[in-house]
Amino acid sequence: MPHTGGPNILQKRKRDLPPAKADEVRVRVEAAGFSFAEVQMLRGRYFNQPRFPFVPGYDLVGTVTDVGPGVSDLAVGKRVAALTETGSWAENVVLPAEKLVPVPDNLDPADTVAVVTNGVTARQMLHRVARVQPGQTVLVHGASGGVGTLLMQLARIARVDVIGTASASKHDLVRSLGATPLDYRTDDVPARVRELEPNGVDAVFDHVGGPGLADSWRLLAPGGTLVSYGVASALEAKGHRLLPFVPLLARLLLWKAIPNGRQATFYYVQRWPQHFEDDLTAVLALLAKGQIDTAIDRRVPLSEASDALRLLDSRRASGKVVLVSEDS
């Protein structure tokens, strides 16, 4: 990604990759994920992106091809996953061994990468932040997206009811995952939620931010939790990319300080790095047992990354878009 622009600005480049050094591992990438973060990066709007030019790619699954000195718990041929934030849209990468999580050999790489960032995000927001309990009800904004589809499934496993916002064309997907769909384009979402849950919901997962965040807060039941995990509404904003976070974080801090039993917090997937391996391992176990589905929209070869990014940018994708190696 050399500079800001549309999906067509992506460039393919070749580079010489050195052998793995001490405590490093070289990995042949089999699958890498697309996320809304890359759409934001295209516009220079992602809060944690590096300076241009850089290789995008938030997560990957691949096979170890070289192990540097000091690495004793990974061997050549082992399949691994990693959350990279950038750099995974490549044929081969070198990463610190501590970033890699072993993956069961019987899992499909594309299915696996679909739950690396999204699955850990969904699991941690549900169980580490909101601490949902059986019989509760939660509201998921963007229910048809990569995180949203996993939030609905993990909530169902936890015996939690879900109300999910999505465009009308994606309501069948939302219903198939056990949630009640609402159309954020045509429905009065706060009014409809109140019809379904007069006392409010026990948690709201909001990736949009902006003015609608206040509605999310007001829809909480006593003791409920608002989890904000993005500012998708600021995609076309001007000025420094961190500016939209100033009012968002100020609101969350204010609401958190109000002594009414409700909680408000901002979540970022690197919030608990010490729990990443445990949470990913738990999600992969559910995937291996067939208890969750990855809801992959499509698999795209690395050479067609621009087309896949264009699909995500258009909001036409339902679920996860995954890059796969050319020989997959």
In the structure encoding, which two tokens stand for residue 78, read together?
């082992």
Residue 120 pLDDT: 97
The one-letter code for the residue type at 11 is Q
Return the structure tokens found at 111.
Answer: 């299915």
- Report the CATH fold assignment for 121-266: Rossmann fold (3.40.50)
Distance (Å, rounded) from C-alpha 244 to C-alpha 231? 7
Range list for CATH 3.90.180.10 in the chain: 7-114+294-324
Q: Give just the sign of the alpha carbon dihedral 147, 149, 154, 155.
A: positive
Q: What single letter denotes the amino acid at residue 180?
A: T
pLDDT in tens, the chain (328 residues): 999 999 999 999 999 998 999 999 999 999 999 988 999 999 999 988 999 999 999 999 999 999 999 999 999 999 999 999 999 999 999 999 999 999 998 999 999 999 999 999 999 999 999 999 999 999 999 999 889 999 999 999 999 999 999 999 999 999 999 999 999 999 999 999 999 999 999 999 999 998 899 999 999 999 999 999 988 888 888 888 989 899 999 999 999 999 999 999 999 998 888 999 999 999 999 999 999 999 788 899 988 999 989 988 887 777 688 999 876 5
Is the previous residue joined to 18 through a cis bond, with omega within 30 degrees of 0? Answer: no
118 vs 284: CA distance, rounded Å: 12
**69 vs 47, 78, 163, CA distance in Å?**
35, 17, 50
- By residue count, the chain amounts to 328
Q: What is the pTM of this model?
A: 0.93
Question: For residues 94 and 15, is the Cβ–Cβ distance under 8 A?
Answer: no
Distance from chain centroid for Cα 159: 22
**Given this model, what pLDDT does residue 39 score?**
92
The architecture in CATH of the region 7-114+294-324 reads: Alpha-Beta Complex (3.90)
Residues 129-163 pLDDT 10s: 999 999 999 999 999 988 999 999 999 999 999 99
3-state SS string for the chain: CCCCCCHHHCCCCCCCCCCCCCCEEEEEEEEEECCHHHHHHHCCCCCCCCCCCCCCCCEEEEEEEEECCCCCCCCCCCEEEEECCCCCCCCEEEEEHHHCEECCCCCCHHHHHCCCHHHHHHHHHHHHHCCCCCCCEEEECCCCEHHHHHHHHHHHHCCCEEEEEECHHHHHHHHHCCCEEEECCCCCHHHHHHHHCCCCEEEEEECCCCCHHHHHHHCEEEEEEEEECCCHHHCCCCCCCCCCHHHHHHHHHHHHHCCCCCEEEECCCCCCHHHHHHHHHHHHHHHHCCCCCCCEEEEEEHHHHHHHHHHHHCCCCCEEEEEECCCC
Question: Which residue spans of the chain are classified as CATH 3.40.50.720?
Answer: 121-266
Confidence at residue 328, expressed as pLDDT on a 0 to 100 scale: 54
β-pairing, 161-166 with 137-140?
A: parallel
